[in-house]
Amino acid sequence: MTIQMSRAVSKRSGVQINQISDKSEIGSVAADYNGAFIGRFLRGRIDKVFAVTREKIDRQLGASISLNVSALGEAKIQVYEAVRYGAVQAIVSRLIAADHVHKLIVATAGIAVGEGVAPAVWATGLASAGLPAGALIAFKHLECFNDGLTCQINAVAAEDDQAVAIASKIITVQFVDPASEKIIIGPFTGSLDPEARDEFNNSYFITDVIEKGTDLLDVVDVASGATVPVTSPFYGTVNGKAKFVSATLQYFTEGSTVYTSSEMEAALDRIRRSKPNFTYLNAGGTENLALLALMSGLGKEINKQFPFDVPGRLNPEAVATFIQSVGADIKTLYGQAFWAPLKRDNPIAGGKAYFGTSGQQIGLRCARNAQVNSQGIAPRNRPIAGSDYGLNGTNITQMYDVNDDELELLAENQVNPCIFKDYPSGSKYAWVDSLTGAQTTGATKLIAVAEMATFLDDNVAAFAQEALQKPMAESIKLTLRFMGTLCKSIESASWLNPTAELDGAAWQVQVSRNEAAPYDTMDVKYDVCYDGTNRKTIGQQTIVRQS
């Protein structure tokens, strides 16, 4: 085959074809199917957020806690319902108190020094104490399992040139979930010698092998010159199988399950620093006023909607007072309150109890967001409310019958009830309203508008990031083109409504140099008129007399 082109032609005669340039990007925010959750869980890393999927929810968050045991068990229900009903993954920030203790997992050769008793092969130790005498290697398991971790180690048998067994530097470690008894980390085989290389001349040092394979386990230290003697209980094989020594270690103590302001702030900060993007925030059904106020403030700060639950056991008057108690931060288009005076079966731990519906809201919204049209736009103008969406659950009982005056009070306080409703298409427990916390008669009082407006802002912000550090004229051209495509797309999805304010158009966009700082600042202005949601229908029948 003859190559007809080159990538660089200077003085010679030839054909230079440049790298393919893709300028067709229309921008997207790959976060429409995720929600971020905060709460107390029995497992989960505490240094940053982590993504939880439906398949691994027990493995990643630990066992489910009955609501009869602790109200904090609701956080996992909210995560479960979100991933069960449509969220691709939940981004979880685990609440943790400062008095937790996170010990190292230490492996020794299990050989007695002198005439003493042989030490346990596996033990825990404080990081501040350093590597104890006789230790081979120390690990830190970052998933912080309250119920411990089963650790297993084997040393690969070694021989000298006369086929005599000698001390080995090669170990295999693996870690087993004590609940499911499945290997969840490893196996990793590597050398205790930092200089070791494999057949491809890559590092074979156990630290490098583990770091390459997982970010759930840190190798904190490897003893200098460490080897595993032939007499070690995990040296070599037995009956043709690698001889492992196994122990379940309680290396993590959670500490208090009540949290100070600074501990809650720290959990919020982990969400703020989250690398996986997300669209919704959730407080795991908490009744903690301080945490709700903090979360609603975060939603406003980072342009994320915050569906939250008002305790279902409260009566409507108390619900209104509760909402007023949370404060001004909740009174924005980001804060969206749901009240379900319902008892239903706890889907993960059994028993019938009050718990919120915000996690399921997020799941259903994510499922809806996945239903994009040919231009990539989801029906976000369709709130998860009314006859199209029923609450999923079993053995549901409504514990409080709401009258019209109370529904008025709830709407006045921007609370969306989830109650039994007899629609002609069928009876169901439904979210009968879709209000944001915004205290306005304008469009932002509607969840549908909040959905569309936050989507638009997220997309504009994401593209604007791409346009940074490009020449100004090019940035303006690219951004204008992007905005035109985006606005046409959302108009085609029936999100917008033409208005006389925009001379009969549904949107207008202006991208230009900033007048005060024309060299380094670009202004992007976009006016849109959103379609609304029919919350109230007024009919009037007039009977006329016979002529």
Single-letter amino acid, residue 23: K
**Contact between 289 and other proteins per CB under 8 A:** yes
Residue 260 touches other proteins, criterion: CB under 8 A: yes
Query: 493: Cβ–Cβ under 8 A, 6 or more apart, which residues?
Result: 373, 375, 377, 378, 379, 381
35, 86, 297, 311: residue in contact with other proteins (rule CB under 8 A): 311
* Nearest to other proteins of 105, 323 (CB atom): 323
Nearer Cβ to other proteins, position 310 or 364? 310
**Bridge partners for 540 per DSSP:** none
Question: What are the distances in angstroms from CA 394 to CA 165, 203, 343?
Answer: 63, 55, 10
The amino acid sitting at 537 is T
Question: Which has the closest alpha carbon to 456: 33, 27, 36?
Answer: 27
Residue 290 engages other proteins in binding (rule: CB under 8 A): yes
Q: Pairing state of beta strands 183-191 and 170-176?
A: antiparallel
**Do 313 and 420 meet the contact criterion of CB atoms below 8 Å apart?**
no
Q: Does 68 bind other proteins (CB under 8 A)?
A: no
324 belongs to the binding site for other proteins (CB under 8 A)? yes
The residue from 293, 333, 478, 483 that contacts other proteins (CB under 8 A) is 293
Which two structure tokens, joined as six digits, stand for 266?
A: 């720290």
Closest CA to 356 of 375, 371, 343: 343
Bridge partners of residue 107, in order along the sequence: 122, 137
**Which residues fall within 8 angstroms of residue 320, CB to CB, at 6 or more apart?**
409, 410, 412, 413, 415
Only one of the segments 53-61, 160-168, 254-262, 495-503 lies at the binding site for other proteins (rule: CB under 8 A); that segment is 254-262
Q: Which residues of 106-135 are buried (b: 16+ CB within 10 A; e: fewer)?
A: bbbbbbeeeeeeebebbbbbeeeeebeebb
Strand partners, 228: 168
Q: Is 258 in the site for other proteins (CB under 8 A)?
A: yes
Which helix (DSSP H) or strand (DSSP E) does residue 376 occupy?
A: none
**Stretch touching other proteins by CB under 8 A, among 147-155, 319-327, 448-456, 504-512:** 319-327
* DSSP codes of every residue in 63-97: S---TTT-GGGHHHHHHHHHHHHT-SEEEEEE---
Minimum distance, C-beta of residue 75 to other proteins, in the bound complex (Å): 15
Q: Are 76 and 323 in contact (CB under 8 A)?
A: no
- 546 touches other proteins (CB under 8 A): no
- Scanning 10-18, 60-68, 150-158, 283-291 for contacts with other proteins by CB under 8 A, the matching segment is 283-291
Spatial contact of 41 and 92, defined as CB atoms under 8 Å apart: yes
Minimal distance, residue 321 CB to other proteins, in Å: 4
Beta-carbon contacts of residue 506 (< 8 Å; ≥ 6 apart): 491, 496, 497, 498, 499, 528, 529
> Using CB under 8 A, which of 205, 251, 322, 389 touches other proteins?
322
Q: Rounded to the nearest whole angstrom, what is the least distance from the CB of residue 70 to other proteins in the complex?
A: 8
Applying CB under 8 A, which of residues 261, 397, 440, 494 lies at the interface with other proteins? 261
Indicate whether 253 belongs to the interface with other proteins (CB under 8 A).
no
Residue 260 phi/psi, 5-degree rounding, is -80, 170
Among residues 4, 201, 262, 394, the one that binds other proteins under rule CB under 8 A: 262
Stretch that binds other proteins, among 46-54, 284-292, 420-428, 485-493 (CB under 8 A): 284-292
Q: By rule CB under 8 A, what count of residues binds other proteins?
A: 23
Report the nearest approach of other proteins to the CB of residue 311 (Å).
6
Q: Does 287 bind other proteins (CB under 8 A)?
A: yes
Among 146, 246, 288, 499, interactor with other proteins by CB under 8 A: 288
Tell me which DSSP letter residue 546 carries: P
- 99 vs 159 by CB, closer to other proteins: 99
Binding residue for other proteins, selected from 31, 88, 192, 326, defined by CB under 8 A: 326
- Residues 25-64 vs other proteins: string with x where CB under 8 A? ----------------------------------------
CB of 301 to other proteins, least distance (A): 19
Contact residues for other proteins, defined by CB under 8 A: 256-258, 260-262, 287-290, 293, 311, 313-315, 317-318, 321-322, 324-327
